[in-house]
Structure 1
Amino acid sequence: MKQALNIIIILVIAFLFNSCGGETQEPIKSPKELKGTVKDKNGNTYPNSKIIVFNSLQSFQESTNSSGVFEFKINQNGSYKVTLIPPLGTNISSKDPIDIEVNSGVEKTVDFTIQSLPLVARTNIDSIDIFGEIKNQEGTVPLLPNEAIYARNVFDTPIGLLTPIKTPTGHHLSLSEWKTAKGTVEVSCNGNSSNTKISLQGMIPNGTYTLWLNFLNKKKLPGQSVNFGSDVVKVAPLGSGTLNVLKAVNNGNITANIKHPSCILTDEAALILVVDYHLNGKTFGTDHIPDAEDVNHMLIYFQ
Structure 2
Amino acid sequence: MEVNCEGCAGCCIDWRPLGAPDDREREGRYRALDDTYHMVPLSRDEIRGFVDDGLGDALVPRLFASDGPRTTEVDGHRVAAIDGRPAFLVGLRKSPKPVAPFDGDRVWLDACTFLDPDTLRCRIHDSERYPDRCRTYPGHNLELDAATECERVERVHGEAGQRLRDDDVPEDLSPPPLGPRALGSTVFLHPEPDALDGAVSRLIAGEATAADRATFVASAAASAPGTAEVNPERFERERERVLAADSWVSAADAEWRAAADRRGSRVDDAPDATAVEEAGGAPSTGEWTPAE
More helix by share: 2
**What's the TM-score bracket when you normalise by the shorter of the two chains?**
under 0.3
